[in-house]
Structure formats: C-alpha cells, structure tokens
A and B are shown apart, each in its own frame.
Chain A
C-alpha cells in the first residue's frame, strides 16, 4: 500500500446517549478518537452539545459484533408465525412508563 492510501484516521467509536435517567442508552452515531477519554469528549461535543443527553457511552466500533444482511432470514424470520412467542397477552402494570 502506498503512503497516499494509508489510513491516517483515528479509531472509530460508536456513541450511545441516554436522554434521561432510567431510559435506555440509544445509538446516536459515531466519532473518531485515539483513546477513550477523547472519544467521550468528542461524543459529548458532537451528540450532546445542546443538552440532549444525561449520560454517554462510547464503545470501540470493532468490539461490536453485528449480524449480517445475509442473516436476515435465518436469524429473524422463524418467529414471525408464532404469535404465542409475543408477550401480548400480559397486562403491563400501571405506573411502568419505560416499557412501550
């Protein structure tokens, strides 16, 4: 590989932000940074500069193991026709707000 093509980018980190205490951390996007401290600051600057989050996680992108598009059938289809697999028949107690 020639020098021109060398990847000089810092490592990729995936960013998860929590909108309020108790809510789940949701994927917000990604940032580049050479280490965790800067990843956290960059994530704060890019994804929560208008007070959007109360907590942030950053995870090295290469630690995320993802299913592939080819997995779509085998991974997700089989449960489609088995309605009893869905917990639709339980009543959610009143007062629980985080579960939709």
Chain B
C-alpha cells in the first residue's frame, strides 16, 4: 500500500475517533447545571471534559498529518456536518437521564475495547493517545455501568425508562461496527485493532452488564441506521454544530 494511502487512511481514522469524542463530549456538557444531583452534575461534566481533552490530542494529530496547517480548533469549528465522522450514537439527543446513561455506557464500552487494543498500535501517537485515554474511559465505563445496573435493577419506573432508552438507541448500534476499507487497512498495517476483536469485546461488556441489570437486547432488524463513516448523519448533528460553531464563526478572532 502506498504511503499516501496509509496517511489518508490514518487521517480518516483519527477523525472518526476525534469527532466521536468531540460530539459526545459536547452532548455530555449539555448536562452542566441540569443533572439530578450535584455530585452527578460534577461527574458528567467532568467526563465531558475528559472527552474534550482527548479530542484536542487526536484532532491536532489529524491536522498535523493533513499538513494544511489546521489544528483541532479549525477542525472542530470550521467543518460542516458532512465532513464529520463521529458515530451516530454520539449525536443522538441526551433524552432523559436513562438515555444519557445508556449512550454513555455503550460509547464507553466501545471506546474501552477500541482504546485498550489501540495501545498496541504501531503508530506511536495513536498508541500514546490510547494509553492516556483508556484510563479515563475505564472510569467512565465503571460509572455508567454502575448506573445501568442501578436503573435496570431499580424501580419499575427506572427499569421501564432504561429499557425504553435501550430499545430506542439500538437503531444506532450497528453503526458502531459498520466497518469499511479504512478500518481494515489500518488494522492490516497494525496501526489499529481488528474491528472484529473490538466488536467481540464490546459485546461481552454489554451482555454481562445487561444481564446484571435485567435488560433485554432488542431484536430489531429493520430501519437500522449506519453511515457515520461516510459522513451521513442524523438531523441532530446540524443543530449541535450550529450551537458549537456559531461563536468562532461569527467572531473568528475571539479569545477567552
């Protein structure tokens, strides 16, 4: 494989990781001042900050590889929806607390499987990024996994809400593993994990937690949404970007 091809795959691969962190971090940040208890408010926004920190590293790297002088801010604030590569599940609205927890749990499980394998990447920057981030994600997984069991194995109302959230979000779960040539090339170059391994580990984490929480994995086969890797998003992403990008686009020289 030519070096140019490897490089463009690596940029694409980094954008997928970085954009998912950015959009999911932004969604978590929406809870600031709104969480059910003070301690949870601090916890969720703290995890949002973890994600924004991870975004900075990986989007800066994507910009550096691209070599057009774009940094993480340019990539976050100066691209339109079709250029974003975040997973669809990340852009889905927070909904109620149960939906937020399910999203956070499924994404944490995905990132945990991805990053713990990515620490073995031949690409030193990706490996270092994964090494640093997987510790944060391990905590996110513990925190959200704990809540999944609390809500699932809690009252009738909490169980109903979290099972509803699972049923609703499951339409976007296939998108996590809708792998394409880029993922396979990166795996072949030993720069990223085998997508099948990530999927298997994700499945184990999710199945075992759901068992403890008495949650059922829905059997939906129709209307599954995929396409994030090609930049095909839900309508929600546009609204996130409008809010997120307004200030830097309207006042390009603003500093704070």
Contact = CB atoms under 8 A, between A and B. Distances in A.
Interface stretch (A33-41, A60-68, A84-92): A33-41
B146 A32 contact: no
A49 B150 CA distance: 23
B43 interface: yes
Interface of A, secondary structure class, is helix
A59 to B, nearest CB: 16
Contact of A32 (B39, B43, B142, B150): B39
B146 A45 contact: no
Interface string A23-54: 00000000111000110011011100100000
B146 A31 contact: no
B42 A37 contact: no
Interface string A72-98: 000000000000000000000000000
Given A37-B146, A41-B142, A41-B146, A10 B37 contact: yes
Contacts of B39: 31-33, 42, 45-46
A71 B202 CA distance: 58
A44 B143 CA distance: 11
Contacts of B37: 10, 32
A33 to B, nearest CB: 7
Contacts of B150: 38
Interface of A: 10, 31-33, 37-38, 41-42, 44-46, 49
10 contacts: A31-B39, A32-B38, A33-B39, A37-B146, A38-B146, A38-B150, A41-B146, A44-B139, A45-B42, A45-B43
